[in-house]
Amino acid sequence: RRALPLVVLPLLNDLRSARGESLLSETSLFAPQLVVVPALDEEELARRNTPELPGLLRKLRQTLQAALAGLMREQGVQTQLGYMAKVFARLEQLCEDAPLGPLWRISSALVETMLNGNFTNSPALRSLL
């Protein structure tokens, strides 16, 4: 049986206390290695800011909102997740080396996991989307 960190935290703190070390908090068990993606320079921003971009982003937003609404109502969940996967994939392409790139990769991974049935469509999960 796997030991969850929060379950064994009191035991760890007892051991640390016996050794005279400082106690661990719940937040000390979560320490992701985040990489800061630098902002795009003015030249790159100008290159990406095409006349078609506002229309494309509007279309992506509308598609995402419609898919989220369908997901909340549990109407054609697989279809809605498919739409969301397409939106996030397109946003990944648009923002691949931009500071928001990691957000769209994570969003894509979450939707892909839901499509594969590894996460169920729950209120907590929907709040992440």
For 58-111, how does the pLDDT look when each residue is reduced to its tens digit (9 = 90+)? 999 999 999 999 999 999 999 999 999 999 999 999 998 999 999 999 999 999
The structural domain count of the chain equals 2
Q: Are residues 82 and 27 in the same domain?
A: no
Per-residue b or e along 98-125, where b marks 16 or more CB atoms closer than 10 Å to that residue's CB: beebeebbebbebbbebeeeeeeeeeee
Residue 38 pLDDT more than 80? yes
Q: Are residues 47 and 105 in the same domain?
A: yes
Is the alpha carbon torsion for 102, 107, 109, 110 positive or negative? positive
Q: Are residues 19 and 65 in the same domain?
A: no
pLDDT for the residue numbered 1: 47
Q: Are residues 24 and 48 in the same domain?
A: no
Alpha-carbon distance 29 to 128, whole Å?
A: 21
Q: Are residues 60 and 88 in the same domain?
A: yes
pLDDT for the residue numbered 94: 95
Q: Are residues 4 and 45 in the same domain?
A: no
Residue 98 near residue 40, CB atoms below 8 Å: yes
Q: Are residues 71 and 90 in the same domain?
A: yes
> What is the per-residue DSSP string for 62-121?
HHHHHHHHHHHTTSSHHHHHHHHHHHHHHHHHHTTTSTTHHHHHHHHHHHHHHHTTSS--
Chain mean pLDDT for the chain: 89
Q: Are residues 61 and 102 in the same domain?
A: yes
User: For the chain, what percent of residues have pLDDT higher than 90?
Assistant: 60
Residue 90: which domain range? Answer: 35-128
Q: Are residues 25 and 80 in the same domain?
A: no
pLDDT for the residue numbered 2: 56
Q: Are residues 45 and 108 in the same domain?
A: yes
